[in-house]
Each structure stands twice: as C-alpha cells, then as structure tokens.
Amino acid sequence: METETQLRRDLANCYRLFDWLGWTELIFNHITVRVPTPADEKAQYLINPFGLHYSEVTPENLVRIDIDGNVRDGSGGCVNKAGFIIHSAIHAAREDAHCIMHVHTTAGCAISCKEEGLRHDNFYTAMLYEDVAYHEYEGVTTKEDEQPRLVASLGKRNHLILRNHGLLVVGPNIPSAFNRLWTLQRGCEIQLASDAGRGSNRRIPTEILKAVPETRVAGSAETHRLIFETMLRRAGIPPAA
C-alpha cells in the first residue's frame, strides 16, 4: 500500500500534468485520492486547496479531509464545497474508487451537452463500451441531497458523463484513473472531429464492441504507471520517488 507521502507526490504531480495538458478550469475542478486511514476513523482523502491553480499544487499544500469534509491534517486549508459534494459521495460509496478525477475540458463538456452523449464508434470509445454512465444536470453541485442520485447514476461503472457539465472517472489508483480519463477525453475529441467531417459516421457492430475488453485500455496497473511516469517526463515533471 502506498504511503500518504507517496500519494501526495503522485497527486501533486498529477495536478501539474493536468495543467500541462490544458485540463484546467481556473481554480476549479478536483482530483482526489484516498489515503491510508486507521480502521476506527472515517475514510480520508487528499484534495487541492481552494484558491490555487493546478500549477501551484504541491505535496505540502494538498489538504487531507474526511468524508464529512473536515480538515484532518491540521493545515487549515480551504476546500471547494462542490469538490467535497461530488468526490466524498463517490469515495464513500465505492470501495474501489481510490482516485476520482473530474474535469471541464472543452471536448468533454461539448459531448456532455449532446443528446446522444458519447457514441462507441471510434477506437477509444469502443474500449469504454458498457462502462460509461450519465448523470442529469441539477445545477452547480453544492447540495448534499444530490449525492445519492450521483452515486446511483455512476453505479458500478468507471466513467461518468455529467450532462451539460463535464467528465468524471474513478480508478483504483492515480495512474489507472489518469489512463481512463485520457481515453475518455481522447474519445470525446475524436467524436467531435468525426462529426465535423463530411458524410455519416461508420458504426462498430455490437458484437465487436462486446468483444473489446477493458484490458485494451493500456492493460495492467504496471502499464498505467509506465504511461503516467512517461507523461510526467514529457511535461518535465519529476516522478514521485
């Protein structure tokens, strides 16, 4: 199991990688990761401090909060309520949701506004067949009574399109969640590009889609770690020691 120190390094690096990729939204949106917590305490996770750009996030200024939104690391850091509402609900409901990523990328927001949502008709979206859920837009996510509906919308799937809003993924660790989001984002970009081209889009037969295993999404956790660290090097970010 990774230590909190290791998770802080990975998470801070991930925030900086999102900045390099252009997946930022002023001081908003969040990437969270669950940290080891004593069995007699409520689950806790790391989140970015409200008021900083992703490029300013460091291992030291990440804030550790519990499922109820209480700061538990003595930092006194401020947390955006929308981040607490969305992320705490999913962390509490899914034991496998160790990492959650939520973004408002242009491609993701555009697809979230389309009535048909994400089609499984390109190389990347085919990998996500039967693993994409949808949640209806209820306004800015600051009301706790939306939490059970958000959890119900996601169900057991790992990719969530928040209608008229953006994208969200869950994963067992930071590299795997990053790979899922990269695949979802890439699929959204290609769908927008294909829709802009002349002529109709070619469908992929359902029997083919059902045969595309999730392992095609870059494979194992070890491969996800290789991808993550490669991208960190590409962005000039030293990987976690």
Whether residue 165 contacts residue 104, with contact meaning beta carbons closer than 8 Å, is answered with yes
Q: Of 232, 160, 209, nearest to 9 (Cα)?
A: 232
Helix or strand or coil: residue 133?
A: strand
pLDDT per residue as tens, the chain (241 positions): 789 999 999 999 999 999 999 999 999 999 999 999 888 888 899 999 999 999 999 999 999 999 888 888 877 778 887 778 899 999 999 999 999 999 999 999 999 999 999 999 999 999 999 999 999 999 988 888 999 999 999 999 999 999 999 999 999 999 999 999 999 999 999 999 999 999 999 999 999 999 886 556 567 889 999 999 999 999 999 865 5
Phi, psi dihedral angles at 88 (to 5 degrees): -65, -35
CA distances from 32 to 12, 14, 100 (A): 10, 10, 5
**Residue 119, Cβ density class (10 Å: 0-12 exposed, 13-18 middle, ≥19 buried):** middle
List of domains in the chain: 4-234 (3.40.225.10)
pLDDT tens digits, residue range 133-190?
999 999 988 888 999 999 999 999 999 999 999 999 999 999 999 999 999 999 999 9
Q: What's the pTM value of the predicted model, to 2 decimals? A: 0.94
Token pair, residue 153, equals 């919308």
